[in-house]
Amino acid sequence: MNIARNMARGLMGVENVYTQHQPLLFQTMESITRGRLRDVD
């Protein structure tokens, strides 16, 4: 129990990077809808 409590305290304030990640496909689709997609040769 004490170990779990210490782990929970250690994780307080740590941001979850997985929920912040936006896939490249999402960014590409957003660029298409806004008309900002670059042409790449």
Residue 25 domain-assigned (yes or no): yes
pLDDT at 41 over 70: no
Q: Higher-confidence residue: 34 or 36?
A: 34
pLDDT attached to residue 1? 65
> Do 28 and 37 touch, CB atoms closer than 8 A?
yes
User: In terms of residue numbers, what domain contains 28?
Assistant: 2-34
DSSP string, the chain: -HHHHHHHHHHTT---HHHH---HHHHHHHHHHHT-PPP--
Q: What is the CA radius of gyration of the chain?
A: 19
Residue 9 lies in a domain: yes
CA-CA distance, 40 to 37, in Å (whole number)?
Answer: 9
What global pTM score does this model have? 0.41
Does residue 41 lie within any of the structural domains? Answer: no
The two tokens of residue 26 are 């999402």
Give domain status of residue 29, yes or no. Answer: yes
Mean pLDDT, residues 12-39 = 82
